[in-house]
Structure 1
Amino acid sequence: MKYLIAFLLVMVFIFIGEWVSSFSRAYIPSIFISAILFIIGFWTFLPKDIAVQASFGDEFIAIIVPVLLVHLGTMMDLKQLADQWRAVVIALTGALGAAILTMVIGTILYDWHTVAATIPPLLGGVVSTALMTEGLQAEGLTMYLALPVAMYILQNFIGYPMVSFMLKKEGNRLLKAYDPTAQTATNTEEQKENKQSQKFIKMPNQYKTSAFVLAKVAFVGLLAMGLSQLTNEAIDSSICALVLGVIGHQVGFLEKNVLNQAKVFNWLMYGLMAYIFSQLNTVTPQILKGIILQILILLILGVLGMFIASSLLAKSMKMSTPMAFSTSLTALCGFPSDYILTSEVIQHLTNDERKRDYLSDHMMPKMLVGGFATVSVASIFIASILLQLL
């Protein structure tokens, strides 16, 4: 019975977030509201292992993350992926700008260890937070252990609304420039490419069952993890999964929006969200009480550094300032939050499916690739440097 109760509570917290987002037309992101509900729940009545009880534990996540990334790859083509080098440059520059401004001004306000402990989680996810926590413990700097975790949690609460707001600005700009004639021509070309790619592998529809589709996605995900291991993880498995998803669709092995074809995409996304929200159980009111002000000040400095760096590069990288800033802000959310926020904004900006595809083609690849650049590369690289300086 307790497992079903846990599942019910997880779904209730998620759908309340979705309702608030719909009511506010995505100005208040669903994951922002759901995160608040989870953290209040952990401070009151929720069990710390609610995600595990609801069947969304470590094993579930180990399976669905590569599967979901392969799925997202099927939503792009090779040209779109190749064009994202600008997003990578802006995302990395934004992360560097955040680190520099936080170090320069932060060390004037606070001691060096406080600043160093918070920069990696400011720019990334769980891995950089764990690296910094372990480094502080190894150096005997236990008084600073709460800082990385607190920064990792609070940067989400700042990042979600900011990313949503900037994406709405970019989406409205794109809709004003929308040309249905050009979009129709683009769709026709895509249809031709899809027909050509489907000739590579042809199978009667009655054999394309959900299990068959999921088996293909799992196979590509496994290839991605194997490829990453062959490079000694120099190439992150997330990036491999995304790229192989693109290639798999281009050659006709995988359908576009493949997990929607298998009718499991929403289920897997909800599970991933539940797992991420469960990480909030590590922050208590006692931890936040003494450090929240300095965390917020350092976080504001980091965001300001991202804005300055991305704004300076936007024009030369052929991006609008809102899009460039959004790409840098992926450091504050990462996958899957960057995908969820972008999808949510697109859904609320228009009901026209052609316009939604147009917005997704222009915004989604930048956000996904930007998120990998900041969270998987920049934050870990900067964490490794700062660990040597503790």
Structure 2
Amino acid sequence: MQPIIAFTIIMLIWTVSDYVSKKTKALLSSLFVASIIFLIGFKTNLFPEDLLPTSSLLPLGQTVVGMIIVHLGTLISLEEFKRQWKTFLIGVSAVIGISVLLFTVGRLFLDTNYVLSAIAAVSGGTISVIIVQEQALNAGLISVAVFPVLIAALQGLIGFPLTSVILRKEALRIRDGVRDGSITRKAALDPAEASEKQTILPEPFQTTAGTLFVVGVVVIVSSFLSGLTNGWLNTFVIALLLGIALRATGVLKPNVLNGIDAYGLMMLAILLIIFGPLATTSFADLVELFVPLLIAFILGVLGIVLFAMLAGKFLGYSYSMAIAIGLTSLYGFPGTLILSQEAAKNIGETEDEVQIIEDEILPKMVVAGFSTVTITSVFITGILASFIY
């Protein structure tokens, strides 16, 4: 197959996936739809096995994955985390809950390699899946590499409706508080306080090429530092930390890759990495993964609920808010934004009620998504992945 044909087919798949996701209000995520299309295409021989590498997007994704992680680090405002430190701790507790239940109870039913990959996928997003998948492929464990892909494709179907129900309950609690006077509208943040310094880099390094150069250097430094620890600290974990630090010090601007010409294509290329093993997996392997998938989701969600509730009780959060925070590990941003806004609009009966509900829920949910998917999961996965063999 010619590279241009492979490239065009993949763009069509993503177009269809994005369309279906928007029409179903993200209940069917684009990742889920794309997984189904790729799976059917590969298993019916409609797509050749070399579709992804032939498109030239797969090598691009493997090259820029570290740069995307630096970008994720620059999404995180330390000031917002200071304001939402309780939320952050509940999110961390939820990921720990997933890890504890899967690593203890899960190992009674599943091979340790499946347990480790399940922890990565249930607690995190694309980056966590890529980390554990790379280790599994290096060990020649194809089915273990496919396992987190299936979890990632399906977890939104579980996380979205569960969180929607629980956030409605929290929104009702807030609305009742508004009506009895126990909850009032928060004062708007002072614009001077909200403003954040942009990059201190000279103008030539703020162009598309200059930005990619600087972020590339950060990834190279991350790889070097990882080598100094003999790989104990994963390159991606260090890249995330450097992204956070460099934003905080003004070296990198917030959302560093947003607005540059290459960002959209880079994100598409990153997402393609996780579909690679689907091309060489048999239907028999997929059927055998059904029970492990079921166990992973049951134990993962149970771990989220138990540990989030315990942390929430200790920190003074309602059970519904604490559980919703924990469930963000199943989808992350932008689901955290969408579900918060939907809950406020569906429960609030006046403009003031809607705004107060959103002000109470949205900051917690956005920070929760970063604390689970972006930070804690990447840390834990970076450590656990080395034990897959």
TM-score tier, shorter chain, comes to: 0.7 to 0.9
Task: Quote the Cα distance in structure 1 between the aligned partners of 2:49 and 2:184.
Answer: 50
Instruction: Indicate conservation of the 8 Å contact 2:98/2:299, yes or no.
Output: no
Task: Tell me the equivalent position of 1:43.
Answer: 43
Task: Tell me the equivalent position of 1:19.
Answer: 19
Task: Quote the Cα distance in structure 2 between the aligned partners of 1:282 and 1:340.
Answer: 31
Q: How many residues are paired up?
A: 353
Q: Structure 2: 5+ residue runs without aligned partners?
A: 121-128, 346-354
Task: Tell me the equivalent position of 1:303.
Answer: 300
Task: Tell me the equivalent position of 2:155.
Answer: 159
Task: Quote the Cα distance in structure 1 between the aligned partners of 2:382 and 2:253.
Answer: 33
Task: Quote the Cα distance in structure 1 between the aligned partners of 2:113 and 2:256.
Answer: 40
Instruction: Indicate conservation of the 8 Å contact 2:49/2:279, yes or no.
Output: yes
Task: Tell me the equivalent position of 1:285.
Answer: 283
Instruction: Indicate conservation of the 8 Å contact 1:120/1:383, yes or no.
Output: no
Q: Map of 1:19-98 to 2, 5 A cutoff?
A: 19-44=19-44, 45-58=46-59, 60-80=60-80, 83=85, 84-98=88-102
**Residues 13-42 of structure 1, C-alpha deviation per residue, up to 9 Å, x if partnerless?**
112111111111112211111111111111
Q: CA deviation at 1:271?
A: 0.9
**Residues 181-202 of structure 1, C-alpha deviation per residue, up to 9 Å, x if partnerless?**
74741654121xx2xx44x826
Q: CA deviation at 1:377?
A: 2.1
Q: What SS does the aligned partner of 1:315 have?
A: helix
Q: What SS does the aligned partner of 1:67 have?
A: helix
Q: CA deviation at 1:235?
A: 2.4
Q: CA deviation at 1:268?
A: 1.0
Q: Are 1:377 and 2:380 an aligned pair?
A: yes
Q: Map of 1:163-182 to 2, 5 A cutoff?
A: 163-166=159-162, 168=164, 182=186
Instruction: Indicate conservation of the 8 Å contact 1:49/1:278, yes or no.
Output: no
Q: CA, structure 1 residues 363+220, in 2 after alignment: closer, same or farther (shift >3 Å)?
A: farther
Task: Tell me the equivalent position of 1:118.
Answer: 114
Please report the RMSD computed on the Cα atoms of aligned residues, expressed in angstroms. Answer: 4.0
Which range moves more in the overlay, 262-271 or 293-302? 293-302
Q: CA deviation at 1:43?
A: 0.7
Task: Quote the Cα distance in structure 1 between the aligned partners of 2:206 and 2:133.
Answer: 42
Task: Quote the Cα distance in structure 1 between the aligned partners of 2:68 and 2:31.
Answer: 18
Task: Quote the Cα distance in structure 1 between the aligned partners of 2:217 and 2:52.
Answer: 26
Task: Quote the Cα distance in structure 2 between the aligned partners of 1:202 and 1:379.
Answer: 30
Task: Tell me the equivalent position of 1:111.
Answer: none
Name the % identity. 20
One-letter amino acid matched to 1:55: S
Task: Quote the Cα distance in structure 1 between the aligned partners of 2:53 and 2:362.
Answer: 33
Task: Tell me the equivalent position of 2:103.
Answer: 99
Q: What SS does the aligned partner of 2:257 have?
A: helix
Instruction: Indicate conservation of the 8 Å contact 1:17/1:30, yes or no.
Output: yes
Instruction: Indicate conservation of the 8 Å contact 2:237/2:378, yes or no.
Output: no
Task: Tell me the equivalent position of 1:141.
Answer: none
Instruction: Indicate conservation of the 8 Å contact 2:90/2:308, yes or no.
Output: no
Task: Quote the Cα distance in structure 1 between the aligned partners of 2:184 and 2:219.
Answer: 36
Task: Tell me the equivalent position of 2:4.
Answer: 4
Q: CA deviation at 1:170?
A: 6.9
Task: Tell me the equivalent position of 1:363.
Answer: 365
Task: Quote the Cα distance in structure 1 between the aligned partners of 2:133 and 2:62.
Answer: 19
Q: What SS does the aligned partner of 2:160 have?
A: helix
Task: Quote the Cα distance in structure 1 between the aligned partners of 2:14 and 2:342.
Answer: 18
Q: CA deviation at 1:68?
A: 0.9
Task: Quote the Cα distance in structure 2 between the aligned partners of 1:311 and 1:154.
Answer: 27
Task: Tell me the equivalent position of 1:325.
Answer: 326
Q: Are 1:226 and 2:230 an aligned pair?
A: no
Task: Quote the Cα distance in structure 2 between the aligned partners of 1:210 and 1:347.
Answer: 33
Q: TM-score, length-normalised on structure 2? A: 0.74
Q: What SS does the aligned partner of 1:185 have?
A: coil
One-letter amino acid matched to 2:33: I
Q: Are 1:216 and 2:218 an aligned pair?
A: no
One-letter amino acid matched to 1:9: I
Q: What SS does the aligned partner of 2:28 have?
A: coil
Q: Are 1:245 and 2:235 an aligned pair?
A: no
**Residues 245-291 of structure 1, C-alpha deviation per residue, up to 9 Å, x if partnerless?**
122222222222221132332221111112222232232213234x2
Task: Quote the Cα distance in structure 2 between the aligned partners of 1:131 and 1:370.
Answer: 21
Q: Structure 1: 5+ residue runs without aligned partners?
A: 107-113, 138-144, 331-336
Q: What SS does the aligned partner of 2:292 have?
A: helix
**Residues 170-216 of structure 1, C-alpha deviation per residue, up to 9 Å, x if partnerless?**
7765797899974741654121xx2xx44x82645x87322122222
Q: What SS does the aligned partner of 2:258 have?
A: helix
Q: CA, structure 1 residues 209+126, in 2 after alignment: closer, same or farther (shift >3 Å)?
A: closer
Task: Quote the Cα distance in structure 1 between the aligned partners of 2:245 and 2:135.
Answer: 33
**Residues 137-166 of structure 1, C-alpha deviation per residue, up to 9 Å, x if partnerless?**
8xxxxxxx6763553343234313223334
